[in-house]
Structure 1
């Protein structure tokens, strides 16, 4: 009996430490899904590299992570700045050796307005952060993954990129671009030990987005509720794990069986 309990305890420990000896970079990690993902990776043994433009909140996330691991780096980095992204990745790789897992989560999402009222500058801002930020972080980390013949890239898209949301045309377009990029890149690196997937969250109840009408959003789901940051983090961490080694080129909607709009 004693040996049996030792056996089960060992299995549980190994499951919890899925990311031992792995390094994960999470962009947009100061709040919401990014913060939840960062904490989950730290709990499961990963070295974590975090970036955000809100450095004060990022420092708070680091304090939370320190209860699980001391191997955490934080950077005040705007992902739309290609030079800063490359400098961050270079510094993190110098300190941690490599980046095995990339979570492209940083994005602009506070947006409401009819198509004709969205300025060119706003279009550029959304494209620079949501699309080019994903491109820069991926280009900076991918060479080392190719060298190591192992890597996980998970891009956080949105159901808006699948269905399109009225009065959020620019946001919807950027998330649709991320889904297409995910599928194309996955095919390019499929035989090189690297998987590339996207997740498309529906509305998240513990989001800081003031534009969300949570009652209306819960009505859009057949489950009758919105999701949570933790539920999104669980899916993302699964896709980054060995358990998902044969899953690539997918966009997985995590939306409570959303009613198509």
Structure 2
């Protein structure tokens, strides 16, 4: 589905609605974060993990922050950094940490959160203070439900669930990015949509090989294209269970093509940033 995300996006109304909202996060300068954390002083360190270290800080207005500083810069780390910022920018829930902003200067990658004086759920369950703080079953269940509700708030529907009915009704033009202003080849758009959906169906044995995908996208076989267009997958609107756990982005440029990495990031971020209300 990665190549399909270039052509597809949600309806104009969604974009206009989103445009009315002001972001609650901002970009921090490295100088500002050095000042807030006393140059990332050891005494300000709250914890350390495989990703790097987290420091306590105080901004000029007196508000307290937690700054996650990536340990090592690499292309992979840069991708994970972008994914985490993308996800946290969408999360809004009482039991999940709010993103204050981020900093990306040179090879420095830092994420700024609200500071939580009660520490994280992870620290209460497995940290150095876990023996001092016993979370009874009722509280654990409340936290679990609250965290799940936070995830639900960010999950809408898969891109395939959105595109499937439109493809069945042959409304391919509604799947094109409005920013293209209608400047695309209709036949090529149709091929991209149909191939993308057949690749994403939940029966692996029915998915085409990559060789087939290339052939179909190039339109080299009219017979194969006809078979694809008449596939039962596109005969009538139906609820198709793609069950891939990926939420559709609100814009094609926002859609994360690294599906597995995104799934893993969501799980890690939720555990890392969940706190008690």
TM (norm. structure 1) is: 0.23
Larger gyration radius, structure 1 or structure 2 = 2
The one of the two structures with greater contact order (alpha-carbon pairs below 8 A, sep at least 6) is 2
